[in-house]
Structure 1
Amino acid sequence: MSPVSSAPPWNVHRLPRADGRVFLVTGGNAGIGYFVAEQLSATGATVVLGSRNPTKAEAATASIRARVAGARVRAVRLDLADLASLRTVVDSLKVERLDAVVHNAGVALDDPPREETGDGHELMFGTNHLGHFALTHWLMPLLSAAPAARVVTMGSFAAKSERLDLDDLQSRQDYRPKRTYGRSKLAQMHFGLALDRRLRAAGSAVRSVVVHPGGALDSLTPSRPPIHVRPTSARLTAAPAALLVQGKHAGAWPAVRAVLDPAVRGGQLWGPRVFGLRGEPRNEPLWNHLADTSVAARLWDASRDLTGVAPDTALA
């Protein structure tokens, strides 16, 4: 007779309690990050929003408190485009341990010209990937202090069709905004998987999981004034798209499960169940190009050289 699991089926609308735990969500003031923070707040955990804009962060925390009774939510200033500032984030958190960080914040540009961070890195690659790479280094002592912490990296379905140009990571030779964005998210996903391999090799209890939201549209996202307001007209015109994609509240589900579900393992990829575009979260097969550890190793070395730090050097 086979053993019967005592764990109930995962329900995106009935999350397990996480009282006493502390979660950091980068870019938690808007978009998918906001809904990750709102959903995690409903578990009783302390949720910290990392945001470069204090006004937007204040609006997001107020919105969550209005919707989640007793929400333990606050914000810290976090600018992923400013690498030197990231080492101060640990002190600003004012906690002894961190149970999870969701690397969600990102920049997406639609048009040229190419822009750079203050450190001289292409803006999307520098913010989306290098910023999170460096932030993980500074957070690692707090993550290591938790009994089973998780680093959850938010990738993108746009990365599935992209490949990294390791000789032009900064898109100096050939800059195309949508491609550069997709490659920056692919770099994040390679990083999340490489991080888990290095954590395991070091015998760390911290685990790294990669997720993606599938197709997540503003027009299918429920209103959260003033964070997001969806006009009735947008809801009606977007209705046919709901057959294939979803709103950003649902795009948050894979990240939320990766934080909370003890069945999720390090090194996994989680995304929406239906064609990777919509539906409840599932563990999906690793994309073929993400399994290339040689690309990940070269990206890691380049990221270490560009930031001056590396997460595995900060392991406790």
Structure 2
Amino acid sequence: MARPVNVLVTGGNAGIGYFTAEQLAEAGATVVLGSRSRTKAGAAADAIRARVPGAVIRHMPLDLGDLSSLKSSVDSLETGLDAVVFNAGIALDAPDRRESVDGHELMFATNHLGHFALTCWLAPLLDGARVITVGSFAARSERLDLDDLQSTGSYDPKRTYGRSKLAQMSFGFELDRRLRAAGSSAMSIVVHPGGALDSLTPARPGVHTRPASTRLAGVLLHGKDAGARPAVRAVLDPDVEGGQLWGPRQFGLRGKPHLERPHAHMTDPGTAAVLWEKSSELTGLDLDEALGR
């Protein structure tokens, strides 16, 4: 693809999303920070501009846990997009199950359903664009329960988080298949950051303060700045293709981005088709129609 001009990063005000935005700005992209908080987005924009003088950073109000708000968020965009990075997400460790304003389990709602719905509203802006879905290493050991996607029967926060990230990855691979079937020039790529720790992440004033680290963690894992690199490569590398999975080279946990072979449960078309259908029902949106199928 040509050098990107406009890139939306959901959750671009913190963590891996922030470093994705910073690295894209360094590459010359105009970056739109999708964030619920204008204050946090402003702090992230200031931190990026301090490192990249002249960087063009914008803010798009975005609450993925509120499906009714997403159309107006997209309507606020001033131009089309060359790429969108679906990075925003939450990981809860509390034992009690929580729900979004729409009544959906909060991690599944934010991490997957919100991005599914956002894709529907963004579809007219994605001609020739790249859609990058940021999954997680945690998805490797999980399997989707298609009869209980929202963990109503049995809730464990760690498992529910892993399943929500697996749902994202399954959606990312299925999205590329459906884009191809629709004859679209857009493509969908899936990435994951490996083992990205706050303690190994460089400080950014107003955005991130680096806590104490351990020598062992630095050998096995890496910081969130490094964890952002697979997503940045998926946006920038002209040789990246739709339907691919990119992650860190060393055991999938740390190192430079490389092309990975996804696990079969992540790319299973049957599972993805059911997930797609149920996501349509839960959001009330027909993404196939939005994609021109």
Note whether the superposition's TM-score is higher than 0.5: yes
Partner residue in 2 for 1:74: 58
TM-score by length of 1: 0.90
Q: Give the whole-Å Cα distance in 2 for the aligned partners of 1:113 and 1:136.
A: 30
Partner deviation per Cα, 1:62-116 (whole Å, 9 max, x = no partner): 1111110110111111000000110112221111x11110000001101121000
Instruction: Return the offset for 1:17.
Output: 8.7
Q: Give the whole-Å Cα distance in 1 for the aligned partners of 2:72 and 2:122.
A: 10
Instruction: Return the offset for 1:290.
Output: 1.3
How many positions carry a matched residue from both structures?
292
Give 1:275's aligned amino acid.
F
Whether the 8 Å contact between 2:174 and 2:267 is mirrored in structure 1 is: no
Partner residue in 1 for 2:120: 137
Where does the alignment leave 5 or more consecutive residues of structure 1 unmatched?
A: 1-15
Q: Which has the larger radius of gyration?
A: 1
Instruction: Return the offset for 1:218.
Output: 0.2
Whether the 8 Å contact between 1:218 and 1:248 is mirrored in structure 2 is: yes
Q: Give the whole-Å Cα distance in 1 for the aligned partners of 2:15 and 2:3.
A: 23
Written as runs of structure 1 = structure 2, the 5 A alignment for 1:104-119 is 104-119=87-102
Written as runs of structure 1 = structure 2, the 5 A alignment for 1:56-135 is 56-95=40-79, 97-135=80-118
Say whether residues 1:32 and 2:19 are aligned partners.
no
Whether the 8 Å contact between 2:2 and 2:238 is mirrored in structure 1 is: no
Partner residue in 1 for 2:199: 219
Whether the 8 Å contact between 1:150 and 1:259 is mirrored in structure 2 is: yes
Give 1:154's aligned amino acid.
V
Give 1:279's aligned amino acid.
G
Q: Give the whole-Å Cα distance in 2 for the aligned partners of 1:267 and 1:72.
A: 30
Q: Give the whole-Å Cα distance in 2 for the aligned partners of 1:27 and 1:313.
A: 27
The runs of at least 4 aligned residues of structure 1 exceeding 6 Å deviation read none
Identity %: 67
Where does the alignment leave 5 or more consecutive residues of structure 2 unmatched?
A: none
Give 1:206's aligned amino acid.
A
Say whether residues 1:185 and 2:165 are aligned partners.
yes
Partner residue in 2 for 1:271: 247
Partner residue in 2 for 1:240: 216
Aligned-residue RMSD, C-alpha: 1.3
Q: Give the whole-Å Cα distance in 1 for the aligned partners of 2:70 and 2:3.
A: 27
Instruction: Return the offset for 1:219.
Output: 0.2
Greater CA drift, 127-136 or 291-300? 291-300
TM-score by length of 2: 0.97
Q: Give the whole-Å Cα distance in 2 for the aligned partners of 1:22 and 1:136.
A: 16
Instruction: Return the offset for 1:187.
Output: 0.1
Partner residue in 2 for 1:54: 38
Whether the 8 Å contact between 1:133 and 1:310 is mirrored in structure 2 is: no
Partner deviation per Cα, 1:220-279 (whole Å, 9 max, x = no partner): 000002211114xx13xx222111110000000000000111111100110000000000
Whether the 8 Å contact between 2:132 and 2:234 is mirrored in structure 1 is: yes
Q: Give the whole-Å Cα distance in 2 for the aligned partners of 1:63 and 1:106.
A: 21
Whether the 8 Å contact between 1:195 and 1:312 is mirrored in structure 2 is: no
Q: Give the whole-Å Cα distance in 2 for the aligned partners of 1:304 and 1:188.
A: 14
Q: Give the whole-Å Cα distance in 2 for the aligned partners of 1:111 and 1:247.
A: 25
- SS at 2:108 equivalent: helix
Partner residue in 2 for 1:313: 289
